[in-house]
Homo-oligomer: A and B are copies of this chain.
C-alpha cells in the first residue's frame, strides 16, 4: 500500500528485554530437545505453559538487568517473577546465564569479554541476592564441598549472614561451582559456549526452533550436562552425552527423546545454554 498519510511511523524494534523473553520462549518451542519440556513434550507436573508463564513473569528482573540494577538483584527478581506459576522452577539456569548478557547488550556491547567482565565485577551483595533467589523455587543442586555447609545455596536467605561474613561475591560462588555447573563455567569463561552456539544458530537455515533443537543436541553431544550429573550422577551424564552423539549420527533424536523422558534424564543445563545462545543470536539479527 502507498502511504499518502505521513502519520505511519516505522515499527518499533524489539528491545533487549523483549529478545531475552523471546529467547526463553523459542528455547522451549524447539523440539525434540531430548529429556526436556519442549513443544512436543511435557513432564508430569512441568508443562509447556509453565515455561510460557515463567518467561513472561521474569520480565521485571530482566528489565532491572537492562536498567543497571546490580546483577544479583535483577536475577533474584527475575526468579521471583518466574516462580509465579504452579510448576516452580522453569528457567532458573537460563536466567542466571541471561542476566549478565542482558546487561551487556543493554550497554551496547554484547560480547563474551564484556559479559565476563560484568560477571567478575559482581559483589557480596550480588551473592546475597543469589541466595535469596533460592527462597522462591526449589532447585536441584549438589551437596556443598566439605566445610562449606554454611554456604549451601539450599539454605537460601538464611545463608546470607555467612555469605557476608566471608565476603563471598557472586563470581566467587560461580567459580566454586565450575566443576559441577555448566552455567558457572559460562560465568567464569566469558560465556564461550553461549557465543559459539549463537554463531551456529545464525549460520544454519530453516525455522529457528529447529535450529535450536539441533544446536541443543550438538551441545549435549559435546559435553556432559551438569544438571543430569546433579540429578543422577556423572556416569549417567556421560552416557547421556554419548547417546546424544549417537542420535546425531543416526539422525533420530525423537527416539532418544522418548527414552530420556522415560528414564527421567533432563539435560536442563544444555537447554539453559540454548536459551542464552538464542538471545545472543536474536541480538545479532536472527530473524524469526
Picked from B12, B48, B52, B208, the residue with its CB within 8 Å of the CB of A49 is: B208
Would you give the 0/1 interface string for A8-51, flagging 1 where the beta carbon is closer than 8 Å to chain B? 11111110001001100110010000000001100000011110
What 0/1 readout, one digit per residue, does chain A (35-75) give for beta carbons within 8 Å of chain B?
00001100000011110110011011000000000000000
Q: Does A251 contact B (CB under 8 A)?
A: no
A53 and B22 contacting across the interface, CB-CB below 8 Å:
yes
Query: A160 in the interface, Cβ–Cβ < 8 Å?
Result: yes
Interface residues on A, range: 35 or more
Chain B residue at smallest Cβ distance from A4: B158
Checking B14, B39, B128 against A56 with a beta-carbon cut-off of 8 angstroms, the contacting residue is: B14
A25 touches B56 (CB 8 A): yes
Q: Which of A76-84, A141-149, A186-194, A242-250 contacts B (4 or more CB under 8 A)?
A: A76-84
A128 touches B48 (CB 8 A): no
In whole angstroms, how far apart are the Cα atoms of A154 and B22 in the complex?
30
Q: Within the complex, which residue of B11, B26, B59, B160 is in contact with A80, where a contact is CB–CB below 8 Å?
A: B11
Name the contact of A8 in the complex, choosing from B14, B132, B288 (C-beta under 8 A): B132
Q: Do A135 and B3 have beta carbons less than 8 Å apart? A: yes
In the complex, what residue of chain B is closest to A5 when comparing beta carbons?
B157
Most chain B beta-carbon neighbours within 10 Å: one of A18, A21, A129: A18
Task: Enumerate chain B residues within 8 angstroms of A22, measured Cβ to Cβ.
Answer: 52-53, 56
| SS class, residues of chain A in contact with chain B | helix
Q: What's the minimum C-beta distance from A170 to chain B, rounded to whole angstroms?
A: 15
Complexed CA–CA distance, A196 and B157 (Å): 44
Contacts of A86 in B (CB 8 A): 287-288
Judge if A136 is at the interface, Cβ distance under 8 Å.
yes
Q: For residue A3, which residues in chain B have a CB less than 8 angstroms away from its CB?
A: 135, 156-158
State A57–B5 Cα separation when bound (angstroms): 24
In the docked arrangement, what's the CA distance between A154 and B2, Å?
A: 10
Q: What is the distance, in angstroms, from A61's C-beta to the closest C-beta of chain B?
A: 8
Instruction: Say if the beta carbon of A1 comes within 8 Å of chain B.
Output: yes
**In the bound complex, how far is the Cα of B135 from the Cα of A73, in angstroms?**
41
Question: Given the known A-B contacts A8-B135, A25-B56, A209-B48, are A288 and B85 also in contact in the complex, defined by CB atoms under 8 Å?
Answer: yes
A207 within 8 A of B: yes
The list of the 10 closest CB pairs from A to B, nearest first, reads A5-B157, A11-B80, A1-B156, A5-B160, A53-B288, A4-B158, A25-B52, A85-B288, A22-B56, A12-B60
Question: Can you spell out 10 A-B residue pairs with CB atoms less than 8 angstroms apart?
Answer: A1-B155, A5-B161, A8-B132, A10-B80, A12-B57, A22-B56, A25-B56, A39-B39, A49-B208, A50-B288
